[in-house]
């Protein structure tokens, strides 16, 4: 049995390079909400940061706020900077609109890969050896050796932006001559880049959410088929060629360690709604790759696949997430 009809503002888009992915996620959520009998009201943040309604009409900020505050609840499905990083949670919180998903703190911490690494290590969860590089540390200049900062991480390395997702700006570097170009690519997404040791192991994800009764529920593990020396790139993620195995081909002991690490991070970061935790399972143990507090959310995305394998369909997952907002409102009474 599902909750009574609600008006739900579904927020997608975003002024970042994950705009189209977010639109697909938002469209899928809106379809599920309508199947559940709710009134889904799509709102889009366009590529310039403006608001657009479901008919493609530009809205003033005041008009957008009116739509949000006229809704019973908001279901943001924004990926990347300006949304997933806590920005939309902050706006909705200030407006007093109940919403699905993580609060500001969890979104901001989870979006910054360097901060996530620091927190994970502090609570005993291994990450790959890494180094933070600021744009000012190097002029780039096509990777010339004399322009580069001293990198203490032995090759091969993975170079990536500290923010964003969808593997945008990520490079695997086997030769120091390619390091400068890889850093420039990462800097295209922000001021900082993360240089990490390349980890060899099974790439395994798990997703969690806290339901309306306060129970943290886990989906099945999902293993990503990635070739030796490669990473799970943007093209594989969205062109239908991704090789997923659900559940992952790992031992019961490895599964237990991976899930416990994810549960620890979910609580330490202060997550709500769905969060996806990406790990490498290696002969030496479990290594955290990154955390996504607003992961891709179409019917074919990783998170819905994981929960479907655990017996929760896409529509029922959307319903379960929507139901958590009622609990959140009941808890915030003071």
Q: What average pLDDT does the segment 214-231 reach? A: 83
Nearest to 107 by CA among 75, 141, 82: 82
pLDDT at residue 14 above 50? yes
* 8 Å CB contact between 22 and 53: no
Predicted TM-score (pTM) of this structure:
0.90
Taking the C-alpha atoms of residue 79 and residue 301, their distance in angstroms, rounded to an integer, is: 13
**Domains (ranges, CATH) in the chain?**
7-99 (3.40.50.20), 109-126+200-330 (3.30.470.20), 130-197 (3.30.1490.20)
Cα dihedral: 241, 23, 81, 272 (round 10): -90
The pLDDT tens digits for 233-274 are: 445 544 455 789 999 999 999 999 999 999 999 999 999 999
Q: What is the pLDDT of residue 118?
A: 97
Higher pLDDT, 241 or 153: 153
What percent of the chain stands above pLDDT 90?
Answer: 82
234 or 290, which is more confident? 290
Query: Is pLDDT of 334 > 50?
Result: no
């Amino acid at each position: 049995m599902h909750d009574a009809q609600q008006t739900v503002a579904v927020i997608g888009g975003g002024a970042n390079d994950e705009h189209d992915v977010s639109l697909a996620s938002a469209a899928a959520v809106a379809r599920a909400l309508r199947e559940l009998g709710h009134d889904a009201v799509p709102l889009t943040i366009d590529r310039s940061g403006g608001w657009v309604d479901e008919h493609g009409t530009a809205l003033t900020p005041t008009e957008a706020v009116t739509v949000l505050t006229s809704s019973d609840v908001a279901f943001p499905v924004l990926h990347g900077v300006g949304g997933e990083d806590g920005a939309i949670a902050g706006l909705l919180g200030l407006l007093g609109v109940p919403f699905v998903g993580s609060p500001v703190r969890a979104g901001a911490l989870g979006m910054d890969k360097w901060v996530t690494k620091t927190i994970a290590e502090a609570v005993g969860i291994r990450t790959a050896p890494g180094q933070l590089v600021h744009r000012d540390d190097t002029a780039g200049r096509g990777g010339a050796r004399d322009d580069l900062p001293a990198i203490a991480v032995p090759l091969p390395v993975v170079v990536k932006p500290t923010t964003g997702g969808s593997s945008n700006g990520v490079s695997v570097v086997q030769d120091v001559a390619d390091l400068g170009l890889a850093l420039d690519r990462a800097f295209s997404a922000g001021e900082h880049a993360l240089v990490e040791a390349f980890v060899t192991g099974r790439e395994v994800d798990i997703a969690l959410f806290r339901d309306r009764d306060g129970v943290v529920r886990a989906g099945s593990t999902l293993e990503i088929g990635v070739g030796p020396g490669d990473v799970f790139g943007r093209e594989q993620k969205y062109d239908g060629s991704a090789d997923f195995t659900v559940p992952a081909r790992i031992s019961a002991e490895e599964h237990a360690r991976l899930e416990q690490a994810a549960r620890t991070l979910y609580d330490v970061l202060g997550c709500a709604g769905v969060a996806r935790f990406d790990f490498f399972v290696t002969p030496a143990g479990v290594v955290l790759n990154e955390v996504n507090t607003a992961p891709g959310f179409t019917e074919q995305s990783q998170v819905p696949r994981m929960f479907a394998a655990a017996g929760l369909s896409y529509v029922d997952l959307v319903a379960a997430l929507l139901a958590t907002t009622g609990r959140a409102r009941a808890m915030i009474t003071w």
